[in-house]
Structure 1
Amino acid sequence: MYFDLFLPFPVVEPDQPKKKNNKGKNKQNAQQTATVDRQEVGRKSCWDGLRSEEKDAIARDIALTGHLGYSVAGLTIPADPSSSILPSPFSTGVPYPDLDPRHASSTQANGSSSTSELQTAPGQAATTARKLNAPIMVQASRYHLRLDDHKSHNLTSANAAMLREYDIISVQPSTDKALQLACTDLANPGPNQISIITLPLHEKPYHFRLNRKQMKTAQRNGVMFEILYSPGLFPSPKTPPEVARRYRQNFLSNAREVIRITGGKGVILSSGCPLGEIGKRGPLDVINIGTMLGMPANLAKDAVSLNPKRVLLNAQARRTYKGIFSAPRMVPPPGDEASMPNNEPATGEKRSASVAVSSNKKTKVQ
């Protein structure tokens, strides 16, 4: 099961509500109304506002992703640093629910299967769909923020409700301070924890030093470092040849430096191909790219299979932050009440009884 967690998805930014010049007590009400309006605007279909060319490009990208052998695609919403979070266009549904076992109806998958059985995690959903001989393309939502300044970003507790609508949160730092913020504060466990740090490796040589200690701290918190191979190795045909050659040089040198610092662990390889362009490669070709960059073969395979799966599991834990756990109670079937262990003491009672017995034995020995 292979993953490609960077497929750009075009989105139309909703119209921001007009700010009211209310003062005093009405100012807080105006802010709450604006937040509700933004959430209501986001509860539309993901196809709303897109041109026919964009829809065709998305269909081609999804079809190519499945044809190459990928089972999970990360539909990425790129965002600039601002004070507002873009509402998730996938809050009402993914672009192709028939291909996603989590959203497919029971009649499309199998007449004897229920919809609740398909509402599972991506890995379990893919296994269920494989048993049903259905096409698999799990479509995860991703919010990708470009982090230019270490002081201003919108990954705050005030936007936790809107960030919870996305499966994955990732950042792309461009400065030394921004990378330090991403590896320390934004990587801490919480409702707004990032899962991926994308490093721009092709544009120019790094003018700041990659800190090994900071990167290891982020990896201990479950954050993965993402390498986008398409912009560096397979640039757009519109790119001048001299610029494309410089992109490849920068990518190879910077990517090998990242692999040297991390040891090839905690790294994922994604395409990052712009919408409508052909720069995506199959999973086996991506594994060969990883070995070319200095990764062992087993870690290169994990970069497109195991590590992205860990990202999705970490994202599920983020969305259930401060959740409520229930203590299940066993209910026996009719006629088997006697077989239930109702008379056994609880764990705390057993522990106290064992402590009392041990103390009595020690007293007798003395």
Structure 2
Amino acid sequence: MSVFMDLNLSFSADRSHLQSLVETAAHLGYSTVAINYVFEPTAKKKQEIPVPKPISELMDQLPIVQGRSRPIKVLNRLTVVMSDSSHFRPNSAEYRRFDLLAVHPTTEKLFHSACMLYDVDIVCISVTEKLPFFFKRAPVNGAVERGVVFELCYSAALRDSTLRRYTIANALSLMETCKGKNVIVSSAAEKALELRGPYDITNLGLLFGLSDADAKEAVSSTCRSVLLHAETRKTASGIIYTMKSCSKQEETPESEPSEAPAAKRPHLAE
């Protein structure tokens, strides 16, 4: 039996609103969901990266997943909306507070950097506007080789016919390049009515240009690969961070070892 995941539920300060989202996801059969905190820096003023709230503060009790005897697993995710390269801070300590790290590049140059350079788990594809660039094979293949996945969100397509056209057009454009590899489909739902079941999303994936197998993997095994990639990334960054701290301590000059005192010679009697 497949384990289904929705790695993008929009964060809401309204506790009851967020609880309704998670309960609906569990009722639809999702075993794992991620609460998404969106961070969109601006040049006008300095903004602080949001701090994820503990799940215990958001919900008194986690709901049981439909068809399973275990409660739903809730993760925290940060999505950085990038319109400039300075908006992403490599090795930032604030990023380590989140289970998943995603970027939403808005230009071709930033998309290339996200695929080839940035240490992230997910690259978000815009669904609310026509992309200002075409997907190129080199960065897309580079992301696939690094284990980074591309995310398509469907909730915008449910709200408006224009957004629906953008969603389908951008999805088909991506599929022409990546051939369905390393793609996940998430909801980005802001309210419970925008959530759809895993098998509905599998059918929707066909509309996005995914095959039957890839569409099912987009809400199951590929999502699991994202979680494994995130664990590896956090472990590696922790090791690098620790090594840097140690190297700084080792940079302090140490006193040169003093020469061993010469052995006393026996006093010769005159």
Which residue of 2 is the match for residue 95 of structure 1? 58
Q: Per-residue deviation at 1:182?
A: 0.8
Whether the aligned pair in 1 keeps the contact of 2:35 and 2:77 (CA below 8 Å) is yes
Which residue of 1 is the match for residue 105 of structure 2? 173
* 2-structure distance, mates of 1:94, 1:304: 27
Q: Per-residue deviation at 1:185?
A: 1.6
Per the alignment, do residues 279 and 206 of structure 1 end up closer, same or farther by CA in structure 2, a change over 3 Å counting?
same
> Is 1:7 paired with 2:5?
no
Q: Per-residue deviation at 1:99?
A: 2.5
* 1-structure distance, mates of 2:52, 2:129: 33
Q: Per-residue deviation at 1:74?
A: 0.6
Whether the aligned pair in 1 keeps the contact of 2:168 and 2:207 (CA below 8 Å) is no
Q: Per-residue deviation at 1:94?
A: 6.3
* 2-structure distance, mates of 1:84, 1:319: 24
Whether the aligned pair in 1 keeps the contact of 2:121 and 2:230 (CA below 8 Å) is yes
**Alignment RMSD, CA only?**
2.2
* 1-structure distance, mates of 2:198, 2:141: 26
* 2-structure distance, mates of 1:219, 1:257: 16
5+ residue gaps, structure 1, are 11-49, 102-125, 187-192, 236-243, 325-366
Which residue of 2 is the match for residue 195 of structure 1? 121
What TM-score does the superposition give when structure 1 sets the normalisation length? 0.59
Which residue of 2 is the match for residue 342 of structure 1? none
Identity of aligned residues (%): 28
5+ residue gaps, structure 2, are 241-270
Q: How does 1:122-271 map to 2 (within 5 A)?
A: 133-134=69-70, 136-149=71-84, 151-157=85-91, 159=92, 161-186=93-118, 193-201=119-127, 203-232=128-157, 234-235=158-159, 244-271=160-187
Q: Per-residue deviation at 1:296?
A: 1.3
- For residue 214 of structure 2, the aligned residue among 299, 306, 318 is 299
Q: Per-residue deviation at 1:55?
A: 1.4
Q: Per-residue deviation at 1:73?
A: 0.5
Per the alignment, do residues 312 and 305 of structure 1 end up closer, same or farther by CA in structure 2, a change over 3 Å counting?
same
1:252 counterpart letter in structure 2: I
Q: Per-residue deviation at 1:155?
A: 2.2
Which residue of 2 is the match for residue 80 of structure 1? 40
2:148 counterpart letter in structure 1: V
* 1-structure distance, mates of 2:104, 2:20: 26
Q: Per-residue deviation at 1:87?
A: 4.6
- For residue 287 of structure 1, the aligned residue among 190, 199, 202 is 202
Q: What does the per-residue CA deviation read over 1:16-60, in whole Å, with 9 as the maximum and x for residues that have no partner?
A: xxxxxxxxxxxxxxxxxxxxxxxxxxxxxxxxxx4xxx1121111
Q: What is the aligned residue count?
A: 232
Whether the aligned pair in 2 keeps the contact of 1:230 and 1:279 (CA below 8 Å) is yes
